[in-house]
Amino acid sequence: MKKLIGLFVFLLFVGSQIVTAQSKQITGTVTSADDGLGMPGVSVVVKGTTIGASTDIDGKYSLEANASDVLVYSFVGMVPQEITVGDQTVINIVMETESIGMDEVIVTAIGVTRSQKSLGYAATSVNNEDLTKAAPVSALGGIQGKVAGVNISSASGSPGASTKVILRGYSSITGSNQPLYVVDGTPVDNRAVGEIGATRSTDFGNNANDINPANIESVTILKGASATALYGSRAANGVVMITTKSGKAGKLKVNYSGSFDISTPLRLPELQNDFGQGWSGHYASNENGSWGPKMDGSIRPWGNVVDNQQLLKPFAAQEDNLKDFYDLGTSLNQSVSISGGTDKATYFLSYNNVDADGIVPTDADSYKRNAINFKGSTTFNKFKASTSMNYVRKNAKAVATGQGSSTGATLFQEIIQTPRDMSIVDMEDYNNKFYNVDNFYTPYAQNPYFVLNENGNDFTSDRIYGNIALDYEFNNELSATARVGTDVTNSYLKDWQAIGRPKAGSPNYSRTPDVGGVLEESRHSREINTDLIVKYKKDLNEDFNLNALAGWNVTQSNYRRQSSSVEELTIPNFYSLSNSPNPATTSTYYQKKRLYGVYAQADLAFRNYLFFTLVARNDWSSTLPSDNNSFFYPGASLGLILTDAIESLKSNTITFAKVRGSWGKTGNDADPYNIFNTLVAGNADGGFGDLVFPLKGVSGFEIANQLGNSALEPEITTEWEFGIDARFFDSRVGIDFAYYSKETDGQILPVDIASTSGFTSKVVNFGKVENKGIELQVSLVPVRTNDFTWDVNWTFSNNRNKVLELPDGLDEYSIYSAYGIEFNAIVGQPIGVFKGHAPLRDPDGNIVVSADTGIPLEGEKEVYGNAESDFQMGLTNNFKYKNWNLGFSFDYRQGGLMYSYTARLNYFVGNATKTTYNDRNPFIVPGSVIKNGDGSYSENTTAVGKQRINEYWNQTNNKMMSREHVLDKTYVKMRDLTLSYNFTEDMLKKTPFSQLSLTAYGRNLFIWTPKENNFIDPEGSTFGNDLRSEFGEFAGGPSVRSFGLSLKAAF
């Protein structure tokens, strides 16, 4: 876009070259530091005069100047340069992108390009270079830590795992908090595929991960309501606007980028290494925990006696048994593109291939992506037609997390239950008679290698997304655009678990057999988005410029899911729905949603320093009651460039200063089918296992437990923000500050109601949630010389979330709960309060224990804290010396809590470090009391006996242990480290390359967490990528660190 504008400027300047008699002829070429190519349209002006020239299509220029003249080279978005002519006659210039420049052009809602300085709201862009520096497979990974107010985390270290992006906090308690992703003007689907929850969950990533970072020109993040209102109801949580690369006029260009990296576990649980296999303080050869005696290194037989043989091993800690289990992950990511065009037509064609295999041995965690992208445009008179089309095919396998079920176990849960004296890798041969299903050392857990090799899944998806647009320019002032976009995905999942049935009479016969199972699932989603936009721009007079648009939008989305499964297999290793004595369970789900809207925006600029924007949209949605389905939301913003309005303010100290303020609303409709009461197919919920109709040929339906609501209204978010944008000391210090406050009213959500009313939930509009926060971005250029530049970028944000109101009679709303931990919305507190068990306390606050066992008694549940971080920071440093570039960034998140089942299970099996408290000798709970028969309390003298120490640490027996499972999720991560070398044009002269750079990079190289969390990487979650993900993890896999090399070349 920069270059198009440049071309326009070039045309203006063509006629204005002035030749002066005394001067000499200066010639030269202006090239871009980005790609080494000549830059057309760069203005070259003799300072203090109107004499100048503009570069031609190859970046060449010539003009006449005196030796004493100073030439000023400028181009929108690039660092201007001043050169004294002296005795030079050839002056070649390399222009650098202006990283903190204010003339940067930014793409705003509906594809309107505006200069950054004119905006009345916060909008941050990340360009391709920053995005792809550490060669992430997902574009979202490249933004991590670089934009204030954006919370980005990966669900796990598995390749292709979903990425969570939350802008300015959570607004919706049960609805979506996902931003809207817009690619080249058309919203795309960001559905996540997989199962989330506590039982057997899989994560095949979210659709926004499909976008190839190498193809992205820039990502702009629009956070506030006034910035996003034009996109309608789905943009209520912000917009991530992605502009992909286009072909440019000029000769054919071929670009290649490739990266290869290896990964290893970043964070594994740190475990105790003192006590070995056993339970209740005794050695027991069939236990899945480390509650046995102290390990003494003596050689002991272990496991079961098979054929009168038994294995021997030292009773000593296997300190690295977890680490040894994992192997190296690899990831190869390659993109090649061909682009070019003429001034009438452009094209850009690219192919991307990703082939990744995670750290779990075998290809059980692998991800393959093949994508083709075409973008082209052609101009004919006043018409311009353009298209952007993408095809993505993914093949993935994911390791199931969470708990196992009757059909089969899950990997990480089995690994955790390994006594500290046992090697995991030694059991790799799961057909070996000592390690097989019948004779594996314990009946309480499964050989992880059996789970890994015999259970698995295959996921494939085919997706096409893109748009076709037609522009017509009536005249210089009026133009129109029609754009039709679509996003169609078909995916298929097959998931299977093997039969694991210990033979009658074998040592593990008491274990409930894994009966095996198969699931097949097809999903189809389709979205069509049509926009018709009329744009008008006019310079009203010398002072006022108007830019206006009006549009009409219609959106339809369809979704279909068909799923069939069988539980219990007849023939081993044959995975078909036919292979079961039980009938297949099938389910289908269809969804259709339609919406249309009209919108308008007017930008009024006064003398190029005062900018006022009005925006409004009205939507009609199919998901609201038909007599009340229309909703309207307006917005306004104001930007004032102080340094232009009051010229005396501007100096070398204060280069630029802008204040901005905005106010706006966004509306959000309901999910489909929440208006009417329904019947649902008969399924009597038994807790563990159900009674599912039909039963013996009788079908049954029941009254749905959720009450519909025929008076639903859309939820409306009102937001205002205020910001300052300033540059100091020749733009070497920049500050961008924003304060925002938003309130989401009339939340649509199913509220739990007393089941004695006959129903368990009701969809209502209720309550308010508030998010307030600050976002600060500070950029510094501590050193800038010809050869050396040091850039620092620091982002800080904090968000304060607060639930202001809940429905009548409720002061608490449960979002999720598991294993005694509740995750609630409570009035006056941030969404996501953790509440859990606590010990009984006497009036003085002492813990009351059982006089018989010495173990604390259960008291009322108490609030532990909430999931919200106190703040988060990102720090990026970049050093550039000649052709070398060294960069690294840190990400720091402070505070907030999360649940960890990994912690829970490690306490249960006695592997957690804290369980060696008092060297596992009997102890009296400090400061504990017992309750006497008369209601009084007296000092406790009952110690927790040796055989009960495992009970003390087991939450089932000692409820207060729940507190140990909720961890502080503070962390500091070294997000990336990159070292790159750019070959100069001179060096490449004799090669076919026009540009070549090599980068060595590392991602997530190190993590620091507080002492209490020595279990997991707190960034991970097994609960999807929305609010529920803040609950935490359920036997998730480890996160990873990666090291790699990447190469970028142009021909």
Partner 1 sequence: MLTSLWGCENDYLDVNVDPNNPAAEVGTPELIFPSAVASTAVRVGGEYAVLGGMWSQHWTQSNAANQYKSVDQYNVTSSSYNGSFSEMFSGALNDYTFVINKAEEDENWIFYMMGTVMKAYNYQVMVDLYDQLPYDEAFQGDANLTPAYEGGQAIYAKLIASIDNALTKDFSAGTNTVPGKKDFLFEGDVTKWKQFANTLKLKMYLRMINAAPAEAEAGVTALFANGIGFLGQDAAMTQFEDAPDKSNPFYEYNFRQLNVATNLRASNTLMSFLKSNSDTRLDAIYTEGSEGQFALYQGQFNASSTAIDPDKPSVARQSAIEPVRFISAAESYFMQAEAIARYGVAGDAKAMYDAGVTAAFGQFAFDSQFDEYELDATPYIEAGGKYEFPAAGSLEEKVEAIITQKWVSCVGSHSLESFFEQNRTGYPKVSAVSGDDDSYVPGQFTYSLEGVTGGLFPKRLVFPDIEINRNPNTPAKVALTENVWWAK
Please give the residues from 106 up to 165 whose contact with partner 1 meets the rule CB under 8 A. none
Give whichever of 108 and 958 is closer to partner 1, judged by the CB atom.
Answer: 958
β-bridge mates for residue 943, sequence order: none
Per-residue binder mask for partner 1 (CB under 8 A), 464-483, x = binder: --------------------
Cβ proximity to partner 1: between 109 and 595 the closer is: 595
Q: Of the ranges 46-54, 476-484, 487-495, 848-856, which one interacts with partner 1 (CB under 8 A)? A: 848-856
Shortest distance, position 819 Cβ to partner 1, whole Å: 10
> Exactly one of 35, 56, 129, 568 binds partner 1 (CB under 8 A); which one?
568
Give me the least distance between CB of 518 and partner 1, in Å please: 13
Residue closer to partner 1, measured from CB, 24 or 282: 282
Question: CA 104 to CA 82: how far, in whole Å?
Answer: 19
Per CB under 8 A, which of residues 934..973 are in contact with partner 1?
A: 947-948, 951, 954, 956-957
Distance set, CA 548 to CA 317, 535, 539, 543, 847 (Å): 72, 6, 12, 17, 68
- Taking the least distance from each CB to partner 1, the nearer of 542 and 934 is 934
Q: Which is nearer to partner 1, 89 or 570 (CB)?
A: 570
How many Å apart are CA 234 and CA 239, to the nearest integer?
Answer: 9
Q: Which is nearer to partner 1, 558 or 997 (CB)?
A: 558
Contact positions with partner 1 (CB under 8 A) in 669-688:
672-673, 675-688
Report the chain's terminal Cα–Cα distance, integer Å.
Answer: 22
Cα separation, 1051 vs 380, whole angstroms:
30
**692 is a site residue for partner 1 (CB under 8 A):** yes
Residue ranges in 495-524 that form contacts with partner 1 under rule CB under 8 A = 510-512
CA distance 198 to 206: 19
- Residue 623 or 1046 having the CB closest to partner 1: 623
Which one of residues 526, 592, 650, 800 is an interface residue with partner 1 (CB under 8 A)?
592
User: Would you count residue 588 as binding partner 1 (CB under 8 A)?
Assistant: yes
Which residue number, 439 or 795, has a Cβ lying nearer to partner 1? 439
Rounded CA separation 491/462 (Å): 6
The span of 128-136, 389-397, 533-541, 702-710 binding partner 1 (CB under 8 A) equals 702-710
**Which of 149, 714 has the CB closer to partner 1?**
714
Q: Which is nearer to partner 1, 853 or 916 (CB)?
A: 853
**C-alpha separations of 373 from 60, 155, 387 in Å:** 32, 27, 10
Q: Compute the least distance from the CB of residue 911 to partner 1, in Å.
A: 17
Q: From the list 280, 378, 453, 718, which residue makes contact with partner 1 (rule: CB under 8 A)? A: 280
Hey, which residues between 595 and 634 contact partner 1 (CB under 8 A)?
595-596, 620-623, 626, 629
In the complex with partner 1, the residue whose CB is nearer, 652 or 756, is 756
554: contact with partner 1 by CB under 8 A: yes
Binding residue (CB under 8 A) for partner 1 from 540, 703, 783, 804 = 703
Query: Residue 304 CB: number of other CB atoms within 10 A?
Result: 21
- Give the contact letters, 385-414, x = binds to partner 1 (CB under 8 A), - = no: -------------------xxx--x-----
Among 707, 780, 944, 1027, binds partner 1 (CB under 8 A): 707
Compute the distance between CA of residue 356 and CA of residue 478 in angstroms, rounded to an integer.
49
- Give the CB-side neighbour count of residue 289, counting CA atoms within 13 A: 21
Structure tokens given for 54 = 């503009």
Smaller CB separation from partner 1, 18 or 695:
695
799 forms part of the interface with partner 1 (CB under 8 A):
no
**From 172-180, 278-286, 387-395, 972-980, span contacting partner 1 (CB under 8 A):** 278-286
62 vs 406, beta carbon nearer partner 1 = 406
What is the smallest separation between the CB atom of 449 and partner 1, expressed in angstroms?
Answer: 18
C-alpha to C-alpha distances, 402 to 818, 1021, 1034, nearest whole angstrom: 12, 11, 5
Pairing of strands 995-1008, 971-983: antiparallel
The binding track of 422-451 with respect to partner 1, each residue x by CB under 8 A or -, is: ---------------------xx-------
Residue 704: burial class (beta carbons within 10 Å; 0-12, 13-18, 19+): middle
Member of 24, 251, 282, 607 binding partner 1 (CB under 8 A) = 282
Q: Which is nearer to partner 1, 693 or 879 (CB)?
A: 693
The interface region with partner 1, picked from 81-89, 299-307, 333-341, 810-818 by CB under 8 A, is 810-818
**Nearest by Cα to 134 from 999, 879, 892:** 999
Kindly report the number of other CB atoms within 10 A of residue 543's CB atom.
11
- Only one of the segments 4-12, 61-69, 392-400, 695-703 lies at the binding site for partner 1 (rule: CB under 8 A); that segment is 695-703
963-1022: contacts with partner 1 (CB under 8 A): none
**Amino acid (1-letter code) at residue 619:** D
Rounded least distance, CB 282 to partner 1, Å? 5
CB 807 within 8 Å of CB 751: yes
Among 812, 862, 968, 985, binds partner 1 (CB under 8 A): 812
Q: Which of residues 240-259 bind partner 1 (CB under 8 A)?
A: none
Residue 564: burial class (beta carbons within 10 Å; 0-12, 13-18, 19+): middle
Q: Does residue 845 belong to the site contacting partner 1 (CB under 8 A)?
A: no
Distance between CA atoms of residues 7 and 527, nearest Å: 36
d(CA 793, CA 936): 61
Chosen residue from 164, 300, 593, 975 binding partner 1 by CB under 8 A = 593
Give the contacts of 402 (CB within 8 A, at least 6 positions apart). Answer: 197, 198, 199, 200, 201, 410, 413, 901, 1022, 1034, 1035
Using the contact rule CB under 8 A, the part of the chain among 10-18, 157-165, 353-361, 587-595 near partner 1 is: 587-595
985-991-993 Cα angle (round to 5):
65
Helix residue spans in 354-484 (DSSP H): 411-416, 448-454
Q: Cα separation of 271 and 907, whole Å? A: 10
Strands (E), 514-543: 517-539
SS3 state of residue 349:
strand
User: Exactly one of 327, 858, 968, 985 binds partner 1 (CB under 8 A); which one?
Assistant: 858
- 466-501 core/surface letters (b: 16 or more CB in 10 A; e: else): bbebebebeeeeebbbebbbbbebebebbbbbbbbb
Q: Output Rg (C-alpha) for the chain, integer angstroms.
A: 32
- CA 641, chain centre distance (Å): 34
Write the CA distances from 522 to 187, 408, 466, integer angstroms.
23, 22, 22
Which of 690, 730, 870, 1012: binder of partner 1 (CB under 8 A)?
A: 690
Residue nearer to partner 1 on the CB measure, 554 or 827: 554
Nearer residue to partner 1 within complex by CB, 259 or 621? 621
**What is the smallest separation between the CB atom of 479 and partner 1, expressed in angstroms?**
21
Q: How many residues bind partner 1 (CB under 8 A)?
A: 96
The least distance separating partner 1 from the CB of residue 145, rounded to whole angstroms, comes to: 39
Query: Considering beta carbons, is residue 428 or 752 the nearer one to partner 1?
Result: 752
- Report how far residue 102's alpha carbon sits from residue 973's, in angstroms, rounded to the nearest whole number: 31
- 457 in Cβ contact with 397 (< 8 Å): yes
Hey, which residues between 859 and 878 contact partner 1 (CB under 8 A)? 861
What is the contact mask toward partner 1 in residues 752 to 791, using x (rule: CB under 8 A)? xxxxxxxxx-x-----------------------------
